Amino acid sequence: MEAAGSAVLVSPEAAVSSAFEVAGAVKNVAIVGFGTVGRSVAKILCGDSGSSLRLTHVINRNVERKRVDWAPADVVWSDDFNAALAPDIDIVVELIGGLHPAKELVQSALHAGKSVVTANKQLIATYGPELFERARTAGLTIAYGASVCGGMPVLPALGAGLGGDRIVEIKGILNGTCNYILSRVENEGISFADALAGAQALGYAESDPTDDVEGLDARAKLVILVRTALRREVNVSDIPARGIGGVQPVDFVYAKRIGCTIRQISRAKSDGQAVAAWVQPALVRLSSAAGTLQGSRNVVVTTGEFGGDNVFSGFGAGGDPTAVAVVSDLVAIANGGSRLTINDQVQQAKVAPDYHSAFYVRFVIDDQPGILAALATVFARHGINIDSVLQERGFERKQLPFVITLERCANSQLHAALKEIATLQHLVEKPLALPILD
């Protein structure tokens, strides 16, 4: 198994050269997948005449509609993925996304003796170890600094800069689309559906937004971060991911009452054996790094045994920031700084089946005397302490949202209680339960 993001690719030269002027022979680069990121990569590569990285191929389905007039005339434009295997290409940049045929393309490129730079988080989360081993055997490199948080140099920082620490926890906002949508629900009081439609209209969300809003995109990034920072290999599908669709404007009102706001959080904590990991909306302190983050930026917070907390924030997506990560990896490879080795220190680990947290539970009820007593009785029976009961004015009694916050307990305890609560009368909606981060 291999290594830690683009940190793998750092060479002395990479550390000091601009993207545009690197030592050594010119490396020919093929970009496969010419969308927003691909165009930005090409723009950076073509922007400097002294570059030792030369864009030679652009490959995309129906490539004719993708042609740009600012690329050198000798760039080969092709519809055929196999064009990436041409003998004069040194490095293949995989930007087609998804698992297939991205995996097969990367395998073919490695087989043909080309190093690979990819921004594909699903590919690296799912097939990383297998592909790293293949690259290592062939004496080649796979670099994937762009796969987590776009233009934020989180992977090099964690791999190289904190190699002397033991990172015990990593958490963050890893999906800008979710954060944009939640920011609008918070600031404008609009519904999730309206905020999503707005994000789609502006191009911030895909027409099929599932990967973003259901947490699957963030989950893949979390797997790569766990590998790099916690040095544990977990299966991506074992990490529970929950979407932001259930969060309503009223939840921000209640969250604020206890000094919090709501963000789509990805979090992993190692207890030495298992890794407690999840992706879901959670309450965070208004004053925290996650709480102050607005719009589409990302933030990552690591906690080290010796170095304490480190906070990174920046543009986690977008053509130009993601292209910076891709080009940083290209520079490193061009400088010969990458050598893959098996990493015996990344250990296979299970995702812990349970975790502990304080919780926020929002109920919507048809208000009747005795409901609070009934809820409190169920929580008590499950050994869960109630921390506070919050009720905002101005709602109609037949559809009354109110909140119970719970002291730290096991998620499994909470869900056993909620299962029993589901059988109670007068609940108008399924309760929304969210962890409250420390």
Residues acting as catalytic residues: 221
Among 71, 76, 133, 166, contact with a second copy (rule: CB under 8 A): 166
329 binds a second copy, rule: CB under 8 A: yes
**Which pair of tokens denotes residue 396?**
């109609």
- In the bound state with a second copy, the residue whose beta carbon lies nearer, of 234 and 326, is 326
- How many CA atoms within 13 Å lie on the side-chain side of 58? 27
Sign of CA dihedral 191, 194, 197, 203: negative
The one among 38, 321, 401, 431 contacting a second copy by CB under 8 A: 321
Distance CA 221, CA 298 (A): 12
User: Does the protein bind a second copy through residue 189 (CB under 8 A)?
Assistant: no
User: Cα dist. 283→73, 140, 386 in Å?
Assistant: 53, 43, 17
**Site membership for a second copy, residue 12 (CB under 8 A):** yes
One symbol per residue from 209 to 228: x for binding a second copy (CB under 8 A), - otherwise; what is it?
-------------------x
CA distances (Å), origin 298, targets 189, 208, 309, 335: 22, 21, 16, 30
Indicate the residue among 208 and 306 with the shorter CB distance to a second copy. Answer: 306
Contact between 323 and a second copy by CB under 8 A: the answer reads yes
How far is 155 from 158, CA to CA, in rounded Å?
A: 5
H-state helical runs in 241-286: 249-257
Q: Is 4 in the site for a second copy (CB under 8 A)?
A: yes
Q: Does 357 bind a second copy (CB under 8 A)?
A: no
Please state the closest distance from residue 143 (CB atom) to a second copy, in A: 11
Find the shortest distance in angstroms from Cβ 248 to a second copy: 26
Give the three-state DSSP class for 201: helix
Using CA atoms of 298, 155, 30, 140 in order, give the dihedral in degrees to the nearest 10.
-160
Residue from 58, 125, 157, 277 that binds a second copy (CB under 8 A)? Answer: 157
Which residue in the set 51, 120, 177, 310 belongs to the binding site for a second copy (CB under 8 A)? Answer: 310
Give Cα 219 distance to the centre of its chain.
6
Name the residue nearer to a second copy (CB basis): 159 or 243.
Answer: 159
Binding track over 273-302 against a second copy, x by CB under 8 A: --------------x-x--x----------
Among 64, 74, 344, 438, binds a second copy (CB under 8 A): 344
Residue 287 burial by Cβ neighbours in a 10 Å radius (0-12, 13-18, 19+): exposed
Contact status: 113 vs a second copy (CB under 8 A): no
Q: What burial letters (b/e) apply to 158-188, b meaning 16+ CB within 10 Å?
A: bbbebeebebbbbbbbbbbbbbbbbbbbbee
In the 8-state DSSP scheme, what is residue 63? G
The closest alpha carbon to 353, from 266, 232, 239, 224, belongs to 239
Is 431 a residue that touches a second copy (CB under 8 A)? Answer: no
Which residues have a Cβ under 8 Å from the Cβ of 331 and sit 6 or more positions away?
13, 14, 17, 18, 19, 22, 53
Q: How, if at all, do strands 115-118 and 142-143 pair?
A: parallel
Confirm or reject binding of residue 271 to a second copy (CB under 8 A).
Answer: no
Distance CA(69)–CA(79), nearest Å, equals 18
| Binders of a second copy in range 118-147 (CB under 8 A) | 145
Nearer Cβ to a second copy (212/329): 329
Nearer to a second copy, 3 or 84 (CB): 3
169 binds a second copy (CB under 8 A): no
> What part of residues 21-40 is at the interface with a second copy (CB under 8 A)?
21, 23, 40
Map the footprint of a second copy across residues 368-427, applying CB under 8 A. none
Q: Which of the stretches 100-108, 271-279, 335-343, 397-405 binds a second copy when contact is defined by CB under 8 A?
A: 335-343
Q: Which CB atom, from 144 or from 379, has the smaller least distance to a second copy?
A: 144
Minimum CB distance to a second copy, residue 344 (Å): 8
Q: Binding to a second copy by residue 326, rule CB under 8 A?
A: yes
Rounded Cα distance between 34 and 16, Å, is 28
Near a second copy in 222-261, by CB under 8 A: 228, 231
Region near a second copy per CB under 8 A, out of 3-11, 174-182, 233-241, 429-437: 3-11
Residue found by looking up tokens 């007593």 in the block: 373
